[in-house]
Copies of this chain bind each other. A is one copy, B any other.
Amino acid sequence: MTETTAETLADRVREGDLRLHELEDHADADVAAAARRLLVAESSGADVEVLGEYAFDAADADANVENMVGAVQVPLGVAGPVTINGDALSDDRYLPMATTEGALVASINRGCSVLNDAGGATARVTKTGMTRAPVFRVADVAAAEALVGWVRDNVDALRTAAEATTSHGGLVDVTPYVVGNNVYLRFRYDTKDAMGMNMATIATGEACDVIEAETDASLVALSGNLCSDKKPAAVNAVEGRGRSVSADVEIPRETVEDRLHTTPEAIVEINTRKNLVGSAKAGSLGFNAHVANAVAAMFLATGQDEAQVVEGANAITTAETTADGDLYVSVSLASLEVGTVGGGTKLPTQAAGLEILELRGGGDPAGSNADALAEAIAVGALAGELSLLAALGSRHLSSAHADLGR
Contact = CB atoms under 8 A, between A and B. Distances in A.
Interface in A216-255: 219-226, 228-239, 244, 246-248, 250
A27 interface: no
A278 B184 contact: yes
Given A284-B232, A300-B306, A316-B277, A68 B77 contact: yes
A43 B233 contact: no
Given A48-B352, A65-B77, A100-B305, 17 more contacts: A46-B358, A61-B100, A65-B99, A66-B102, A70-B75, A71-B74, A124-B144, A133-B278, A180-B248, A180-B316, A220-B396, A225-B282, A231-B287, A233-B285, A272-B320, A276-B276, A295-B307
A139 to B, nearest CB: 9
Contact of A350 (B100, B182, B293, B349): B100
Contacts of A135: 273-274, 277-278
Interface string A281-318: 11111111111110111011101011111100110101
Contacts of A332: 141, 178-180
A46 B235 contact: no
A46 B352 contact: yes
Secondary structure at the A interface, as helix, strand, loop or mixed, is mixed
A291 B248 CA distance: 32
Interface in A31-89: 36, 40, 43-51, 53-56, 58, 61-79, 81, 85, 87
B278 A47 contact: no
Interface stretch (A1-9, A103-111, A154-162): A103-111
Q: How many A residues are at the interface, by size bracket?
A: 35 or more
B101 A79 contact: no
12 contacts: A53-B55, A61-B100, A65-B97, A101-B344, A135-B273, A140-B250, A180-B330, A181-B328, A225-B278, A225-B289, A228-B278, A230-B313
A104 B343 CA distance: 12
A95 to B, nearest CB: 10
A263 interface: no
Contacts of A278: 133, 135, 182, 184, 224-226, 228
A151 B316 CA distance: 23
Contacts of A94: 40, 43-44
A363 interface: no
Contacts of A293: 230, 307
A62 B70 CA distance: 23
A98 interface: yes
A275 B1 CA distance: 53
Contacts of A222: 392, 395
A56 B65 CA distance: 23
